[in-house]
């Protein structure tokens, strides 16, 4: 276990290093990316730009700039190039909205995905199964920004059933929090409900063919207990792993589009705005945060997987 943790820690360091280098380099090579010019504004003279460049150290060799930036990332001194706001503070400010969105959506897609998947597997080949398959494909194919925009427009703006955007902190108004998040949760979860129901359907169908299921039936267990106690228990193991990883991705910026459409003002939206401005520091910080979540939850998933399935060992 100690070896496992050490190895994962090392992996995390390497991944974060690689991600930061890549992001940093991208911002150095893209055209129009000169931070000094952007900071100076449109009307700036060449000397003003030059002054900013010197002041911010943009004339230093690239590896020095990288080292400076990385130091700032970890000391919390990172400042946006465009609006000069403290990046860490901005991220912290957006985190509750992003967490709320990710956790709620993850619960919804897990529950619905499993329910639909198991139901489809038990009705395999019949009408209900085909209907769920089609719906799942629709869910997977519909782009979240389009669906989100439609929902926000018709259910929110036009019908007025739901708020058409914005975020209400949980601490201030729990009901309002949920009320504001219903549409974003649904929009974000839909894709995963589709995916998960397909994965679980295949996994349950495979499980039903396993000899141990026949053993369970031959033992005299009721069909319901065979399904819940043996088939589903085995089929959920891969789903749980998948869930952890998908959750990490959503948390680490995968919900950018949903956040923007519903104006949640979360970390994703912050990153989206920064990208639009070619503002390197926030993008770097958010990307690192995302990578951190992915690697962290990857390790958690491995530990949980080993706990659920004794054949798997963490190494």
Interface residue list for another protein (CB under 8 A)? 124, 210-212, 214-223, 225, 229-230, 233-234, 237, 308-311, 313
CB atoms within 10 A of CB 168: 18
Is 207 buried (19+), middle (13-18) or exposed (0-12) by CB count in 10 A?
buried
Tell me whether residue 115 or residue 205 sits nearer to another protein (CB atom): 205
Tell me whether residue 54 or residue 313 sits nearer to another protein (CB atom): 313
Tell me whether residue 92 or residue 124 sits nearer to another protein (CB atom): 124
Tell me whether residue 142 or residue 308 sits nearer to another protein (CB atom): 308
Provide, rounded to whole angstroms, the least separation between the CB of residue 209 and another protein.
8
Residue with tokens 């798997």: 312
DSSP string spanning 302-314?
HHHHHHH-TT---
Provide, rounded to whole angstroms, the least separation between the CB of residue 4 and another protein.
13
Tell me whether residue 201 or residue 230 sits nearer to another protein (CB atom): 230
CB of 100 within 8 A of CB of 255? Answer: no
Tell me whether residue 37 or residue 221 sits nearer to another protein (CB atom): 221
Provide, rounded to whole angstroms, the least separation between the CB of residue 58 and another protein.
53
Tell me whether residue 71 or residue 126 sits nearer to another protein (CB atom): 126
Put residue 108 in one of left, alpha, beta given phi > 0 → left and psi -120 to 50 → alpha: alpha
Provide, rounded to whole angstroms, the least separation between the CB of residue 251 and another protein.
28
How many helices (H) and strands (E) the chain has is answered by: 14, 0
Sign of CA dihedral 296, 243, 199, 223: positive
User: Which residues partner with 79 through β-bridges?
Assistant: 86
Provide, rounded to whole angstroms, the least separation between the CB of residue 234 and another protein.
6
CB of 100 within 8 A of CB of 182? Answer: no
Provide, rounded to whole angstroms, the least separation between the CB of residue 237 and another protein.
7
CB of 245 within 8 A of CB of 301? Answer: yes
Taking 3-state DSSP, the helix, strand and coil percentages for the chain, each rounded to the nearest 5, stand at 80, 0, 20
Provide, rounded to whole angstroms, the least separation between the CB of residue 303 and another protein.
15
């Amino acid at each position: 276990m100690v070896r496992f943790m050490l190895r994962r820690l090392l992996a995390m360091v390497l991944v974060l290093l690689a991600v930061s280098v890549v992001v940093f380099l991208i911002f150095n090579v893209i055209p129009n990316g000169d931070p000094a010019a952007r900071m100076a504004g449109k009307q700036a003279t060449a000397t003003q730009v030059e002054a900013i460049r010197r002041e911010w150290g943009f004339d230093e060799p690239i590896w020095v700039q990288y080292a400076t930036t990385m130091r700032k990332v970890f000391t919390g001194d990172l400042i946006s190039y465009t609006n000069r706001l403290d990046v860490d503070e901005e991220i912290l400010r957006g985190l509750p909205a992003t967490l709320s969105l990710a956790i709620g959506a993850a619960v919804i897609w897990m529950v619905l995905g499993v329910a639909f998947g198991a139901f489809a597997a038990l009705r395999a080949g019949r009408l209900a199964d085909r209907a769920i398959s089609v719906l799942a494909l629709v869910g997977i194919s519909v782009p979240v920004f389009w669906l989100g925009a439609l929902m926000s427009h018709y259910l929110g703006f036009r019908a007025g059933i739901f708020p058409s955007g914005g975020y209400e902190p949980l601490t201030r108004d729990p009901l309002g929090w949920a009320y504001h998040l219903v549409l974003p949760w649904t929009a974000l979860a839909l894709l995963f409900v589709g995916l998960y129901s397909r994965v679980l359907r295949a996994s349950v169908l495979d499980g039903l063919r396993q000899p141990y299921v026949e053993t369970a039936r031959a033992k005299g267990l009721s069909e319901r207990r065979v399904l819940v106690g043996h088939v589903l228990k085995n089929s959920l193991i891969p789903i749980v792993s998948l869930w952890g990883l998908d959750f990490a991705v959503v948390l680490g910026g995968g919900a950018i589009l949903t956040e923007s459409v519903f104006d949640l003002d979360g970390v994703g939206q912050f990153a989206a705005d920064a990208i639009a401005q070619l503002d390197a520091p926030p993008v770097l910080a958010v990307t690192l945060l995302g990578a951190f979540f992915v690697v962290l939850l990857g390790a958690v998933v491995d530990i949980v997987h080993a706990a659920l399935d004794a054949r798997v060992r963490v190494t």
